């Protein structure tokens, strides 16, 4: 390791050590740390990166059982863009994107009929409920804004 | 368009269409150089394809050099600025267990330091959670021994699309792109200087010579092979890494996990999938022939199970394997940021006209390309404009898109509008205007929500040569079924656009199915294994 690199490492570790003492002091007066769940929710609500309920956690593995056979779509007919198989296959693959199903008429399909014919027992009714709950929670929020970095100074000086 | 068969030499021939090569081609074309990029397969089909798809700011450098973290965050910020539509937040939950190597206080000190650099890349400050709060956020966490948790964020990116947009912007600025074309040898004059390359099309077998004042070797883990063509020795220490790719987001937050050997693993929700990785093993073979082994899979699952006990219940769609193009002196990376990647001018090795850019990471591709093009410009000995890639948007990144407006005014479902805007940014308007009304909402790839309109647009405008390229353009065939359901429809549409014969369409489907099947049997389990074997048999022409 070159001397310059060694000095940079010493400086980095020194700054972390200072950070550690500051942190320890502030922990003595401020229990619980910065934030907690409320802070998390505030930071990521617009991105729809939110808590999973225990029910959602339990059901998620079942969503992946769909083998795209299409039987449920025959059983439940369709409503515009919405078909039964699209729910597990496409529309709920990414929970932060579930809001974009808000233009679909979820209640117009016969979910019980769809689930009854599913050969791999995909919990279609449960998935529909999950979508409704998520839409109620954050469906009306506008899409997350495209954040720009707050600090973008001129390009760094040449290093070599 | 440059005709590289002409006698006039190009300024620059770029070897390799991964993120580095595409970045070099774009930067050079924007500075006014006459450029050709040659890629032996498709764009992003090498290491870039197998990456974890993250633009990260270099938190680990905080122990070595804060300036490196600053530069790394700054460059992530530039990527966020030039391609805002492609990047999405990946929020990490770092659960801390009683037996962890580092305690929660020490870890929080690191994150407090990192908070200062987050604004460079529009990142947000860390949050500390109690064990109970962590379990509310992710009820699947193993509660035993959980002390608390910390959260922080980085950016995720569709790595293949990032490469494609760089390549397309290079083309828009005059560069020529050649995919499925390999450099079979380098041309040298009497003094040993490199004067171009002999290239061979992998589709037609036709060989030709391309002359260029400088050849930039951006061949990732193949860089040593390309150097050897000029009699130059380049030492890399290639390291193989695999990922398991799940069919959907199985968590809402990324989880940081400690493996049995103390290495850090990540479970990352990434677009509509989840990536679990990665391993890191020295690799001595051909980077193009990589297998995923049962041992590697078990290594990942065993570690993950300690944190997310339900992991084995989720469906793995496929696995990826790639080789990091690590510099041989990697173990001394803390010496300097430039040690992480290096630009070599091989004039010192007697091969004037050959420049290699090696090492690095995807998050630094723009800076690597800038440094490589600076070296090329120095070699050319011309005064050329400075780099502009940190402020000039990539295609689609010019202005924010109101997805609802797209959905309403172009009469497409909101979900499709959202997907289109994520891939094409403000290019979504032109794409939909050009499309026939009947194609706009007609889905070909069910899992990824890819429509006929998007496929036609991509085939016409995005340098698509083969069926499998569509995955790296618009994620067609990228879902749970890995294209078993849509490959025929996509091939037929492509055949119609390109005037392929039915036999050629069948050949493409066969090649596609064979390639996809290679990394699937090892991860398929239970009923889906049987079902997919059946489907594959039925589909194979
Ligand atoms: C498992 C894994 C996870 C990673 N995760 C991340 C991450 O999350 N974030 C990050 O920043 N970095 C990550 N990296 C590192 C990052 O992926 C690489 O540094 C980067 O993608 C390298 O890009 P490249 O263009 O240099 O190489 P490549 O992508 O390999 O491109 C080189 C190209 O050259 C072509 N080529 C080779 N020989 C020839 C020839 N003779 N003629 C024509 N073409 C040729 C190849 O086909 C290839 O496409 C990861 C790496 C691995 C392995
Ligand atoms: S019936 Fe079941 S397995 Fe078949 S498409 Fe519908 S949800 Fe999927």
Instruction: Tell me, letter by letter, the H, E, C secondary structure of B121-151.
Output: HCCCCCEEEEHHHHHHHCCCCCCCCEEEEEE
How close, in Å, is residue B203 to chain A by CA atoms? 33
Q: Which of B134, B246, B369, B415 to mutate to test the interface with A (most CBs of A within 10 A)?
A: B415
| Residue B28 shares a structural domain with residue B80 | yes
User: Which atom of ligand 2 lies closest to the CA of A88?
Assistant: 7
CB B452 within 8 A of CB B442: yes
Task: State the Cα–Cα distance between residues B337 and B273, nearest whole angstrom.
Answer: 32
| Paired residues of B319 in beta bridges | B244
HEC string of B162-219?
Answer: HHHHHHHHHHHCCCEEECCEEEEEEEECCCCCEEEEEEEECCCCCEEEEEEEEEEECC
CB under 8 Å, gap of 24 or more: what pairs does A54-61 form? A54/B139, A55/A126, A55/A130, A56/A95, A56/A130, A57/B138, A57/B139, A57/B140, A57/B310, A59/A123, A59/A126, A59/A127, A59/A130, A60/B248, A60/B250, A60/B314, A61/B250, A61/B310, A61/B313, A61/B314, A61/B315
What angle, 0 to 180 degrees and rounded to 10, lies between the N-to-C axes of helices B365-380 and B19-30?
Answer: 50
Residues constituting chain A: 160
Confirm if B410 and B434 have CB atoms less than 8 A apart.
no
Which ipTM did the prediction report? 0.90
Handedness of CA B302, B303, B308, B314 (dihedral sign): negative
The total number of structural domains that make up chain B: 3
Q: pLDDT truncated to tens, each residue of chain B (541 aa)? A: 444 444 578 999 999 999 999 999 999 999 999 999 999 999 999 999 999 999 999 898 899 889 889 989 999 999 999 999 999 999 999 999 998 888 999 999 999 999 999 999 999 999 999 999 999 999 999 999 999 999 999 999 999 999 999 999 999 999 999 999 999 999 999 999 999 999 999 999 999 999 999 999 999 999 999 999 999 999 998 889 999 999 999 999 999 999 888 889 999 999 999 999 988 888 888 888 888 999 999 999 999 999 999 999 999 999 999 999 888 764 443 344 445 899 999 999 999 999 999 999 999 999 999 999 999 999 999 888 999 999 999 999 999 999 999 999 999 999 999 999 999 999 999 999 999 999 999 999 999 999 999 999 999 999 999 999 999 999 999 988 888 889 999 999 999 999 999 999 999 999 998 888 877 778 887 767 777 788 778 888 7
Residues B298 and B418 in one domain: no
From the CA of A71, how far away is ligand 2's center (Å)?
A: 6
Do B481 and B464 belong to one domain? yes
Of B77, B310, B443, nearest to A149 by CB-CB distance is: B77
- Kind and range of the H or E run holding B405: helix B403-410
Strand, coil or helix: B200: strand
C-alpha B195 – ligand 2 centre gap (Å): 58
Residue from the list B121, B247, B446 with its beta carbon closest to the beta carbon of A149 = B121
Of the ligands numbered here, which is closest to the C-alpha atom of A89? 2
- Same domain, yes or no, for B268 and B185? no
Convert the pLDDT of each residue in B335-354 to its tens digit: 444 458 999 999 999 999 99
Structure token pair of residue A20: 């550690």
B39 Cβ closer than 6 Å to some ligand 1 atom: yes
Tell me if residue A108 falls in helix, strand or coil: helix
B397/A contact by beta carbon, under 8 A: no
Three-state DSSP at A26 gives helix
The answer, yes or no, to whether any atom of ligand 2 lies below 6 A from the CB of A131, is: no
Query: End of a domain among B382, B398, B414?
Result: B398
Ligand 2 near A91 CB (within 6 A): no
Q: CB B252 to CB A159 under 8 A?
A: no
Q: Residue B348 — φ and ψ, nearest 5°? A: -65, -20
Regarding the beta carbon of A71 and ligand 2, being less than 6 Å apart is answered yes
- Evaluate whether B541 touches B495 at the Cβ level (below 8 Å): no
Closest approach of chain A CAs to the CA of B1, in angstroms? 31
Ligand 2 touching residue A85 (CB < 6 A): yes
Q: What pLDDT, in 10s, does the model give residues A108-136? A: 999 999 999 999 999 999 999 999 999 99
Contact A49, A91 (CB under 8 A): no
Q: Is B16 in the pocket of ligand 1 (CB under 6 A)?
A: yes
**CA–CA separation, B160 vs B424, rounded Å?**
13
Q: Report the separation in Å between the CA atom of B4 and the middle of ligand 1, taken as the mean of its atom positions.
A: 26
Residue B67 exposed, middle or buried by CB count within 10 Å (0-12, 13-18, 19+): middle
- In sequence order, which residues have a C-beta less than 8 Å from that of residue B232 and are 6 or more positions away? B346, B349, B350, B351, B354
Shared-domain flag, residues B228 and B374: yes
Tell me the Cα Rg of chain B: 23
Q: Which ligand is nearest to the CA of A92?
A: 2
Rounded to a whole number of angstroms, the distance from the CA of B6 to the nearest CA of chain A is 37
pTM greater than 0.90? yes
Domain end: B380, B398, B416, which one? B398
Site to probe by mutation for ligand 1, drawn from B18, B55, B254, B320 as the one with most ligand atoms within 8 Å of Cβ, is: B18
C-alpha B261 to ligand 1 mean position (Å): 26
For residues B228 and B79, membership in a common domain is answered with yes
pLDDT of residue B52: 95
Most confident of A21-30, A138-147, B204-213, B513-522: B204-213
Residue B31 · residue B387 · CB < 8 Å: yes
Neighbours of B364 (CB within 10 A): 26
For residue B347, the tally of other CB atoms under 10 A from its CB is 15
Contact B128, B150 (CB under 8 A): yes
**Proportion of chain B in helix, strand, coil states, percent, rounded to 5:** 40, 25, 35
List B residues 443-482 in contact with A (Cβ-Cβ < 8 A). Answer: 443, 446-449, 479-481
* Domain-ending residue, one of B398, B419, B446: B398
Atom of ligand 2 nearest to the CA of A65: 3
**B439, B407: one domain:** yes
Q: Is the CB of A87 under 6 A from ligand 2?
A: no
Residues B211 and B246 in one domain: no
Q: Strand B254-258 relative to strand B87-97: parallel, antiparallel, unpaired? A: parallel
B27 and B99 in a single domain? The answer is no
Question: B259 with B318, same domain?
Answer: yes
pLDDT given at position A151: 62
Give me the domain span that covers residue B535. 403-539
Pick the closest to residue B16 from B199, B289, B283 (CA basis).
Answer: B199
Q: Are B181 and B202 in contact (CB under 8 A)?
A: yes
Output the domain CATH number for residue B195: 3.50.50.60
What are the residues whose beta carbons fall under 8 Å from the beta carbon of B339, sequence distance 6 or more?
B327, B329, B330, B332, B333, B359
Q: How far is A109 from chain B (nearest CA, A)?
A: 17
Q: Counting Cβ atoms within 10 Å, is residue B167 exposed (0-12), middle (13-18) or buried (19+)?
A: buried
Q: Are residues B482 and B367 in the same domain?
A: no
Nearest to B340 by CA among B376, B367, B374: B367
Nearest to B344 by CA among B462, B498, B233: B233
Ligand 2 centre distance from Cα of residue B309 (Å): 26
Residues B118, B142 within the same domain = yes
């Amino acid at each position: 390791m070159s001397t310059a690199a060694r000095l940079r490492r010493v400086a980095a570790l020194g700054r972390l050590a200072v950070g550690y003492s500051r942190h320890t002091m502030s922990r003595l007066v401020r229990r619980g740390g910065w934030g907690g769940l409320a802070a998390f929710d505030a930071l990521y609500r617009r991105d729809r990166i939110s808590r999973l309920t225990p029910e959602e956690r339990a059901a998620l593995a079942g969503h992946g059982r769909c083998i795209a056979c299409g039987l449920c779509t025959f059983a439940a007919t369709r409503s515009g863009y919405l078909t039964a198989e699209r729910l597990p296959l496409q529309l709920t693959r990414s929970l932060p994107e579930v809001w974009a199903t808000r233009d679909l008429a979820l209640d117009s399909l016969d979910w019980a009929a769809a689930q009854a014919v599913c050969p791999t027992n995909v919990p279609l009714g449960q998935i529909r409920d999950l979508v409704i709950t998520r839409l109620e929670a954050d469906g009306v929020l506008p899409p997350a804004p495209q954040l720009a970095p707050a600090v973008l100074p001129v390009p760094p000086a040449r290093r070599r | 368009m440059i005709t590289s068969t002409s006698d006039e030499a190009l300024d620059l021939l770029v070897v390799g269409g991964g993120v580095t090569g595409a970045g070099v081609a774009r930067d050079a074309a924007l500075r006014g150089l006459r450029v050709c990029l040659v890629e032996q397969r498709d764009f992003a089909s090498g290491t870039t394809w197998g990456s974890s798809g993250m633009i990260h700011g270099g938190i680990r450098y905080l122990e070595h050099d804060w300036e490196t973290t600053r530069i790394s965050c700054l460059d992530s910020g530039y990527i966020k600025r030039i391609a805002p539509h492609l990047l999405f937040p990946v929020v990490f939950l770092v659960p801390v267990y009683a037996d962890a190597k580092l305690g929660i206080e020490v870890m929080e000190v690191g994150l407090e330091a990192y908070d200062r650099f987050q604004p460079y890349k529009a990142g947000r400050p860390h949050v500390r959670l109690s064990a109970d709060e962590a379990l509310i956020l992710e009820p699947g966490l193993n509660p035993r021994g959980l002390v608390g948790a910390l959260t922080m964020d980085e950016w995720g990116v569709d790595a293949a699309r990032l490469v494609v947009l760089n390549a397309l912007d290079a083309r828009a600025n005059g560069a020529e792109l050649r995919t499925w074309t390999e450099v079979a040898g380098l041309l040298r004059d009497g003094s040993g200087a490199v004067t171009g390359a002999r290239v061979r099309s992998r589709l037609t077998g036709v060989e030709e010579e391309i002359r260029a004042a400088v050849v930039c070797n951006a061949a990732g883990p193949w860089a040593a092979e390309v150097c050897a063509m000029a009699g130059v020795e380049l030492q890399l220490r290639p390291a193989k890494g695999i990922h398991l790719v799940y069919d959907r987001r199985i968590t809402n937050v990324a989880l940081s996990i400690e493996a049995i050997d103390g290495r850090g693993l990540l479970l990352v929700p990434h677009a509509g999938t989840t990536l679990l990785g990665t391993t890191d093993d020295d690799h001595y073979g051909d980077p193009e022939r990589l297998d995923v082994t049962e041992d590697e899979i078990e290594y990942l699952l065993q570690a993950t199970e300690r944190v997310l006990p339900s992991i084995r219940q989720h469906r793995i769609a496929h696995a990826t394997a790639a080789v990091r193009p690590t510099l041989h002196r990697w173990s001394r990376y803390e010496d300097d940021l430039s040690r992480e990647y290096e630009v070599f001018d091989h004039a010192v090795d007697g091969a004037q006209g050959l420049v290699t850019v090696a090492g690095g990471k995807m998050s630094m591709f723009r800076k690597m390309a800038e440094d490589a093009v600076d070296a090329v410009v120095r070699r050319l000995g011309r005064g050329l404009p400075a780099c502009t890639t940190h402020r000039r948007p990539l295609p689609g990144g010019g202005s924010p898109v109101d997805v609802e407006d797209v959905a309403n005014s172009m009469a497409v479902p909101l979900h499709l509008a959202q997907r289109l805007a994520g891939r094409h940014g403000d290019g979504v308007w032109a794409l939909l205007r050009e499309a026939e009304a009947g194609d706009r909402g007609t889905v070909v790839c069910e899992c990824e929500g890819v429509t006929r309109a998007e496929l036609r647009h991509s085939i016409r405008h995005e340098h698509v040569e083969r069926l499998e390229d569509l995955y790296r353009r618009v994620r067609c065939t990228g879902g749970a079924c890995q294209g078993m359901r849509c490959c025929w429809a996509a091939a037929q549409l492509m055949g119609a656009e390109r005037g392929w014969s039915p036999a050629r369409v069948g050949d493409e489907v066969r090649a596609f199915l064979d390639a996809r099947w290679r990394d699937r049997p090892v991860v398929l389990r239970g009923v889906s294994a049987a079902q997919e074997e059946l489907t594959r048999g039925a589909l194979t022409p």
